Amino acid sequence: MVAKKTPGESTIYFIDFTQFYNISWPVDLPTLYEDDSVVVVAKPAGLATLAHPRHTLPAVATLCAPSLPVHRLDNGTSGALLLAKDRSTYDALRAAFRAGTIIKRYAALVHGMTPATATWHWPIAHHPRKWDRMLVVPARHIACRGHPQAAATEITTCGHVYPDQQRSSPYSLLCVTITTGVRHQIRVHLAHAGHPIVGDPLYGGPHPSDDPTATPLLHAWQLGFCSPATGAPVLVTAPLPATFVDPCTALRIPATLLQVSFPAKRVDEEVPGGFAAGDVNPCNDGL
């Protein structure tokens, strides 16, 4: 691993993943936002957030130490990841996550024809036999490990696409907003609704290319929070990476649909941390 930094620029870490995958995959961790209390990095798909005894892959927590990840993105999920520079900031932001005052928006490509909008409040728990899986627990009699956790997921459909002339097997491009953060929440809720994420075979969403190195088409697009350092609202956008855009292009998802639905920069972000009129300001509840 080599860290390179030019004066005035963000640190970028280059990692050779040849030993873990069939292809050479140098990965970078560009900084999307930074102040005296936090840093937000763009986590690539395939990189773990936290080190785990079952995994041999390096983790963001290791690469960015001593900063502490405040939340977790699944290994296969790319996008904005928030880290705290000290313990008091970590504790304050964890409290904000528990209170549901952190804005979390994702881009997802799923199988099937989704409704225009939907909101699901389905409890989630660990699968009773498979350690790497979660499941929706709609009733007490469903077998699970541990106690079910409340989970709320809201989807807005950006568009539907038919990859072939027979107009069979459609895909839906979604903007997903969550106010809770249960493990695998978006993946589990979408699969339970009958719309597994493309590239997520664990929950029934195989990738059409059958590429063993493909990752789920789920990207943490926007992250909004109240900065403990300044007290000001911050909204960070993580542009869609090639690991999301390229498979979408191969599936004939129009580039214009991706650009309009998930712009790399919003017009109200001329001032860092700018929020749109319809956004919930996470600083209203304070930290």
Q: Tell me the β-bridge partners of 149.
A: 124
- Residue 83, helix vs strand vs coil: strand
Pairing state between β 78-84 and 218-226: parallel
Cα-based angle 67, 72, 77 (whole degrees, multiple of 5): 120
- Residue 161, helix vs strand vs coil: strand
Distance CA 232, CA 35 (A): 11
Distance CA 249, CA 253 (A): 5
Asked whether the beta carbons of 220 and 77 are under 8 A apart, the reply is yes
Distance CA 113, CA 128 (A): 30
Distance CA 269, CA 195 (A): 32
What does the buried/exposed string (b/e) look like for 238-264 if buried means 16 or more CB atoms within 10 Å of the residue's CB?
bbbeebbbebbeebebeeeebeebbee
Catalytic residue among 74, 91, 132, 279: 74
Mark whether 74 is an active-site residue.
yes
Candidates 175, 35, 151, 147; CA nearest to 100 is 151
Please, what sign has the CA dihedral across residues 96, 99, 102, 107? positive
**DSSP class of 204:** T
Helix H or strand E encompassing 79? strand 78-84
Q: What tokens does 125 get?
A: 């728990």
Please identify every residue annotated as catalytic.
74
